[in-house]
Copies of this chain bind each other. A is one copy, B any other.
């Protein structure tokens, strides 16, 4: 049975464990075993090791055990995806494993950056810049080019964009289910 690492800001939901359970049930419907970070129950140990370090180690071990990953790349705390999720995306891609991703907003990164901070157009270099002069990508991507392109290069499909209702931003599983279908398709092609 193929093991899929389930990454996303879902771990910050008030009912994070139930949210993970729901994703694992959906994985099982596709014949996959879902690996969810909250399966790593970490409690302070007699060793006195920091809890956050133990969580890191457990997550990395889980990533290395996984056959592929599905990433919830919905913007979180700013115009881009959750950085913890993005770190894990880089790790799976580096390990040469398949990665699939979805976002629960449909707009481009640049549109969100425009709203996040005032950008002005630099007519010489033909780029948008913020007040500090930092330039912004304009490739029509959902997020930073490393994110969008890692999915096409290492999974074979672009990011799935779906507009969730405001209250369902971190709960809507439409894009997640689409990723499960893409993963099943990709795996069946190489089986």
Residues on A close to B: CB < 8 A? Answer: 9, 12-14, 16, 50-53, 55-57, 59-60, 63, 76-84, 86-95, 113, 116-117, 125, 129, 132-137, 139, 141, 143-150, 152-153, 169-170
Give the contacting residue for A135; candidates B12, B53, B116, B153; CB below 8 A.
Answer: B12
A84 touches B14 (CB 8 A): no
Contact yes or no, B90 A149, CB < 8 A: no
Q: How far does the Cβ of A103 sit from chain B's closest Cβ, in whole Å?
A: 12
Q: CA separation between A87 and B90, bound complex, in Å?
A: 4
**CB within 8 A of A51: which of B51, B116, B135, B139?**
B139
Q: Are A113 and B56 in contact (CB under 8 A)?
A: no
Interface residues of A, dominant DSSP: helix
A146 interface neighbour in B9, B84, B117, B135, Cβ under 8 Å: B84
Tell me the number of copies of this protein: 2
Report chain B residues within 8 Å CB of A13: 133-135
Q: Which B residues are CB-close (under 8 A) to A81?
A: 83
Could you tell me the distance in whole angstroms from the C-beta of A66 to the nearest C-beta in chain B? 12
By a CB distance below 8 angstroms, the chain B residues around A152 are: 53
| Contact yes or no, A77 B116, CB < 8 A | yes
Q: How far is the CB of A35 from chain B (nearest CB, A)?
A: 15
Q: How far is the CA of A106 from the CA of B138 in the complex (A)?
A: 31
Contact yes or no, B77 A146, CB < 8 A:
no
| Closest chain B residue, CB of each to CB of A50 | B139
CA distance A51 to B117 in the complex (A): 26
